[in-house]
Amino acid sequence: MPSPAKGLTQPERLEISGRKLLEAAVALIGEKGWEATSAAEIGRRAGYSRAMVHARYGNKDAILQTLFATEYEKKLSPDPDPDSTGLAQALAHLDRISLLYAEDREVLRAIFVLTFEAAKATSQAHPYIQMWLRRAAHTVESGLRTGIDDGSVRADIDIEHTVNDFGATVLGIGYQWVMQAFPYDMADELVHVRARFIREYGSAAD
């Protein structure tokens, strides 16, 4: 049987191997976390040799950097839509989580597992998660301030409290879903929380 890579260009082979390694890393993070996952395991899960991670990325840490660039930044941290209301911009991160839950739960699970694992100051993911959480908070705050100006957000809200409410609620939902200590309908909870945010922080006229 001919190799599936036969006839592919070198850039195409690199793209395929890189994608397979990232997919393998995502699956393993969801199962056992980042620190317990070795580069050799990632290579084998992807269908390559145990040395493939080092050959393709140089080291395991480079995969982590790529995951943050492709999964956290691109999928969960959208640039604000200038044509949307400030309230919609503040809700954009929550909306991306809902979309990812519907389209790729394995990736979303890995993101949450990695986020909670990074609570340890010694975790390799710690600085990345700190940076991502700060950016997410800044995006929500910016959206709220824009919303106050455009009338989509109540003018009397406490912005700091509201930003904290957004962050704590989203992380709490993620934790309950990952743990599954009891039946938990994440899709329904995300809809409920979005409605609450609009009810509590949106203006009556919006």
Same domain, 73 and 53: no
Task: Give pLDDT, residue 1.
Answer: 36
pTM of the predicted structure, to 2 decimals: 0.85
Query: Is residue 3 assigned to a domain?
Result: no
Q: Tell me the mean pLDDT per 10 residues along the chain, length 206.
A: 59 82 92 92 90 84 85 75 93 93 93 93 91 92 97 97 97 94 92 97 78
pLDDT of residue 51: 83
Q: Which domain holds residue 38?
A: 10-58
* Residue 169, pLDDT score: 97
* HSE toward the beta carbon, residue 150, CA cutoff 13 A: 18
| Residue 121 belongs to a domain | yes
Q: Are residues 43 and 138 in the same domain?
A: no
- Residue-level pLDDT at 8: 74
Q: Mind spelling out the 3-state secondary structure of 4-19?
A: CCCCCCHHHHHHHHHH
